[in-house]
Structure 1
């Protein structure tokens, strides 16, 4: 009967986010907690021990290959692991999973549709479109969200694209102007001229 051998000296890293940095032709990775990396970069989290799972620098986190001290010394000019980890945290790329990426894209898609629905109306009825109608029109024109651009920029692009399949125009702004009675006549004449 065979026996299953379980190594006792291996530490399993769970809930891991990998921050990767390529420098000097070599790849360096650190294992962090997902939500803490963003907090660290925004300046909310100050304690590096709360961010890092281990103070080791890896060449490959998933395989557990630790980076050589000579490589760290030549690339980072120091062998202090905490300083190197801080540099990688600040300048490295945060790797995200497919599920997280698709969730972010879905949220951006809905956000863009909401912005378009707020800013545009049907020119015949002067009534706003629902968010679901805008989403359907976005799918009809095969719009794909660009993760590196903000939602407002993309919403303006979507408005131009949707005009091909839906009657759409920007909603007119309504202004309410309050002034003292002595200036009211002058202002009224100027607004009528507009």
Structure 2
């Protein structure tokens, strides 16, 4: 993994970051794109469990959104991870994930991280299994949502839509080594 550039600042997202996060997610071409409104709400309501990377001008260039599970408040669910194309390949996604996990561990007693990944998303699989290794945690995998649970759009703009892949739950924990 290449070193993360030192001119990037990692901190909590602000509502004013919502549009940039939406654009980064859209431009990734791999994430399910939520409405622009949802990114504004996420930056307002879930800033404590999310993180953004800013360039030297203060503009967002990457983010991780997450939330504490209501029934398991020491479990952080990572919703989306995205890095602007110009900042990829430098370890920024891993640095964002580590920074968020450290902060949530200190503030909320995080012990477990969960995320879902489709079977074809090898980049995310590598990101989260590497995160688990760095923190001495095991990874449990199970299908959380089968493909047939997702709605289909039979007449999308490009013709019939591909069905949604199943979402595999990655449960990572117990987490150690989150200080510093």
TM norm structure 2: 0.22
Larger Rg: 1
Greater RCO structure (CA 8 Å; 6+ sep): 2
Which structure: greater strand fraction?
A: 2
Normalized against structure 1, the TM-score is what? Answer: 0.21
Larger % of helix: which? 1
